[in-house]
A and B are shown apart, each in its own frame.
Chain A
Amino acid sequence: MVTGQGNGQGGREHGQKCDQLPGQRSISDPAAREHVAKVWGIRPDEIPQAGLSAVEIMEAIHRGEIKALLSICFNPLVSLPDANYVREALSKLEFFGVVDFFLSETAHHADVVLAGSLQEEEEGVVGSAEGRVIHIRKAVDPPGNAWTDTKIYLELARRLGKEKYFPFRSNREIFDELREASRGGVADYSGITYEKIDRQMGVFWPCPDVPGGDHPGTPRLFEGGRFFHPDGKARFVVTEWRESGDPLADDFPILLTTGRVVSQYLSGTQTRRIGPLVDQFPEPRVEIHPRLAEQHGITNGDKVTVTTRRDAITLPALVVRTIRPDTVFIAYHWPGNRSANKLTHRTLDPRSKIPEFKVSACRIERAPGLRVVG
């Protein structure tokens, strides 16, 4: 799987996804639990079992199973499907804490917001999409009363009485613990040091800690022709087709797919605040093929209402031949009445738990209002 986010890969290797442990280990693997518990100085049974994915968390809040949530640099009100359902979940919480660098739409629902830091404001390492560990240097201090994220979590641990497990004096010490925790795993970081990262312009995992410490990392996996399966072979995985959780019907005959535009990043918490990026793409447009547009009497710039089984939003049309005639596209970076995720649905891929952002059923109609020029 190729990931799109900064450190999306690095986080995935070390337990940001809560069915994992560091080193790309499974949280349900007894040997992995024992190894990581030893590094962390706890008993294996103190490590929880697999948690819930993001959409499942919202569903558990609705069921009353989750009453308090601490959200870190996460804007589910924009980035998760079925935004109205997410909003209801956030307002059901008895306590909602948010750590973020700007006040996101989600943070508006919080009881407590802790001002965190941007990547430019804190030193550390990230893992890129190509499996390369990169050193990010701090360029500026967090402004005002904002703290680095590390400082926030160390202080949180102290107030919860767990400071003996978090004795770190620097981010490098945290990375050194991560190296130990990943030792022997698929994503083995144990041989990666700050010095090696700087010297080699990044280090690709696995990079085991061999005697002499001179393992250069692994720029390309499987070069020896041996794969991770026990027999050493690679396998094609046959995926069985199944109907979307939001199937086409007479009253919803058109496919809606969502995605990104080049000038906006993720839920836009950063990029919707940067003037030139907003100028480049001020608002989402509904991309429609001329053939579909003609059927509905829509011309470029007309306001179009897109309706799904969840909700309806109205946006200007972008009539282009770069989209299929049976499909419309809306970028998802915006909140409120411009939010594409008001329209999407919560059906998850059973294995990866990724929502069906790319397939919803909708209908379109020309809406009254002035045409957008340009």
Chain B
Amino acid sequence: MFGYEFYIDPERCIGCQACINACAECDTHRGVPMITVDYLDRANSIATVPAICMHCDDPTCAEVCPADAIKKGEDGVVQSALKPRCVACNNCVLACPFGIPKMMTKLELMMKCDMCYDRTSVGKRPMCATVCPSQALAYVPPERIARERREKPTNVFQFGTETVTTKVFMMVPPGETMIAVDVVDFMWEPPLETMP
């Protein structure tokens, strides 16, 4: 929108959580951040990763919603659930390939990142991207990313046999064209030494 796109580069994330605090200051959902920052595996690494809604071109969350509470606009932004419609069924929470929607049980409402629609729809940058000190979260023109980053943006994700394309871009090493995730790679298995 307005010539800007959203780029995430987890490699740049320093885990400061400034994005979380900035997000929680928004008047539309004050005190409740719509972004998470997690250690991937603190026992072995200091790597942290921020997660926002990727705004899928064909959003699974909306596809599985029985109440048609999740709307995607012409601009590609997938909105948070509409309060009058959401029945708090958790379908979207379970279906999202990126694990983004969160059920606010007390409100009986799913809430998620809407790319700061109140801001980005009028040409402002999302809160998280304005405060990110390392620009792991960057909301900039595509030409600027091409000029300033060694990594290349991709918005193609392969989950097993399913291809998901998104509005938000993830930075990948030069030469890569997509991010492929095979769920088997992440299934738990017992450590080798304890196997019979």
Interface residues of chain A, those whose CB is within 8 Å of chain B, are 262-263, 276, 280, 290, 300, 318-322
Q: Are B17 and A320 in contact (CB under 8 A)?
A: no
Q: Which chain B residue has the least Cβ–Cβ distance from A261?
A: B15
Q: Are B42 and A320 in contact (CB under 8 A)?
A: yes
Least CB distance, A288 to chain B, in whole angstroms: 11
Q: Which residues of A contact B44 (CB under 8 A)?
A: 320-322
Q: Given A262-B14, A262-B15, is A319 in contact with B20 using a C-beta cutoff of 8 Å?
A: no
Interface residues of chain B, those whose CB is within 8 Å of chain A, are 14-17, 20-21, 24, 42-46
Q: Which residues of B contact A321 (CB under 8 A)?
A: 43-45
Q: Are B20 and A320 in contact (CB under 8 A)?
A: no
Q: Are B17 and A276 in contact (CB under 8 A)?
A: yes
Q: Given A262-B14, A262-B16, is A322 in contact with B21 using a C-beta cutoff of 8 Å?
A: no
Distance between Cα atoms of A253 and B168 in the complex (Å):
51
Q: Are A322 and B16 in contact (CB under 8 A)?
A: no
Distance between Cα atoms of A300 and B39 in the complex (Å):
16
Distance between Cα atoms of A262 and B48 in the complex (Å):
12
Q: Which chain A residue has the least Cβ–Cβ distance from B47?
A: A322
Distance between Cα atoms of A273 and B20 in the complex (Å):
18
Least CB distance, A279 to chain B, in whole angstroms: 9
Q: Which residues of A contact B15 (CB under 8 A)?
A: 262
Q: Given A320-B43, A320-B44, A322-B46, is A263 in contact with B20 using a C-beta cutoff of 8 Å?
A: no
| A-B residue pairs in contact (CB < 8 Å), sample of 10 | A262-B16, A262-B17, A276-B20, A276-B24, A319-B43, A320-B44, A321-B44, A321-B45, A322-B44, A322-B45
- Give which listed residue, A276, A318, A319, A320, contacts B21 with CB less than 8 A: A276
What 20 new A-B contacts, CB under 8 Å, besides A290-B43, A319-B43?
A: A262-B14, A262-B15, A262-B17, A263-B16, A263-B17, A276-B17, A276-B20, A276-B21, A276-B24, A280-B17, A300-B43, A318-B42, A320-B42, A320-B43, A321-B43, A321-B44, A321-B45, A322-B44, A322-B45, A322-B46
Distance between Cα atoms of A263 and B42 in the complex (Å):
16
Distance between Cα atoms of A373 and B68 in the complex (Å):
40
Q: How many A-B residue pairs have CB under 8 A?
A: 24
Q: Which residues of A contact B17 (CB under 8 A)?
A: 262-263, 276, 280
Q: Which residues of A contact B20 (CB under 8 A)?
A: 276
Distance between Cα atoms of A276 and B17 in the complex (Å):
9
Q: Which chain A residue has the least Cβ–Cβ distance from B33?
A: A276
Q: Which chain B residue has the least Cβ–Cβ distance from A276?
A: B21
Distance between Cα atoms of A322 and B44 in the complex (Å):
6
Least CB distance, A272 to chain B, in whole angstroms: 16
Q: Which residues of A contact B14 (CB under 8 A)?
A: 262
Distance between Cα atoms of A280 and B48 in the complex (Å):
13
Distance between Cα atoms of A320 and B21 in the complex (Å):
27
Least CB distance, A286 to chain B, in whole angstroms: 14
Q: Which residues of B contact A322 (CB under 8 A)?
A: 44-46
Q: Which residues of B contact A276 (CB under 8 A)?
A: 17, 20-21, 24
Q: Which chain B residue has the least Cβ–Cβ distance from A290?
A: B43
Distance between Cα atoms of A300 and B42 in the complex (Å):
11
Distance between Cα atoms of A280 and B21 in the complex (Å):
11
Least CB distance, B122 to chain A, in whole angstroms: 23
Q: Which residues of A contact B21 (CB under 8 A)?
A: 276
Q: Which residues of B contact A263 (CB under 8 A)?
A: 16-17
Least CB distance, B48 to chain A, in whole angstroms: 9
Q: Which residues of A contact B46 (CB under 8 A)?
A: 322
Least CB distance, B24 to chain A, in whole angstroms: 8
Distance between Cα atoms of A263 and B48 in the complex (Å):
14
Distance between Cα atoms of A262 and B133 in the complex (Å):
12
Distance between Cα atoms of A276 and B18 in the complex (Å):
10
Q: Which residues of A contact B43 (CB under 8 A)?
A: 290, 300, 319-321
Q: Which residues of A contact B24 (CB under 8 A)?
A: 276
Distance between Cα atoms of A264 and B24 in the complex (Å):
19
Q: Which residues of B contact A262 (CB under 8 A)?
A: 14-17
Distance between Cα atoms of A318 and B46 in the complex (Å):
12
Distance between Cα atoms of A321 and B42 in the complex (Å):
8
Q: Which residues of B contact A280 (CB under 8 A)?
A: 17
